[in-house]
């Protein structure tokens, strides 16, 4: 259970980082990355774009791998390796084997429904 939660948190962190990196990247029309590029930058513009592109692909691969790991570490019940549906099928009761009990038929009674006849004068 603990490994599954840990891997799930790592997936969420990687997804948030991926969103932030994609938003910073420079698009055709100039994106948020235009605000971060200045003349006094230590890394060149091309190196920044290369770093952002490599980190995008690295995080995408990490998300895929972490999702596969999370699927493998999903906590399973302490059952004997059989699915719940298979257990229900094996334990199902045959409807023909259920005994039918006689039902009592209520005696027919006459009731008035409120449309009482008025006595004639």
Six-digit token string for 98: 């259920």
Q: Residues 74, 11: contact at Cβ < 8 Å?
A: no
**pLDDT surpasses 90 at 99:** no
- Say if residues 7 and 63 touch (Cβ distance below 8 Å): no
Alpha-carbon torsion 55, 61, 64, 69, what sign? negative
Kindly list the distances between the CA atom of residue 30 and the CA atoms of 33, 46, 76, 99, in Å, as whole numbers in the listed order. 7, 14, 48, 77
pTM value is 0.52
Q: What is the pLDDT of residues 16-48, one digit of tens each?
A: 999 999 888 876 655 555 555 555 455 566 777
């Amino acid at each position: 259970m603990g490994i599954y939660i840990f891997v799930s948190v790592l997936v969420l962190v990687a997804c948030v980082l991926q969103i932030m990196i994609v938003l910073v990247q420079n698009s055709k029309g100039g994106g948020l990355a235009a605000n971060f590029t200045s003349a006094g930058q230590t890394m060149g513009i091309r190196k920044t774009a290369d770093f952002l592109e490599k980190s995008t692909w690295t995080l995408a691969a990490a998300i895929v791998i972490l999702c596969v790991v999370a699927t493998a570490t999903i906590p399973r019940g302490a059952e004997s390796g059989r699915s719940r549906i298979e257990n229900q099928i094996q334990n199902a009761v045959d409807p023909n084997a259920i005994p039918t009990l006689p039902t009592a038929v209520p005696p027919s009674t006459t009731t008035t429904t409120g449309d009482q006849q008025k006595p004639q004068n």
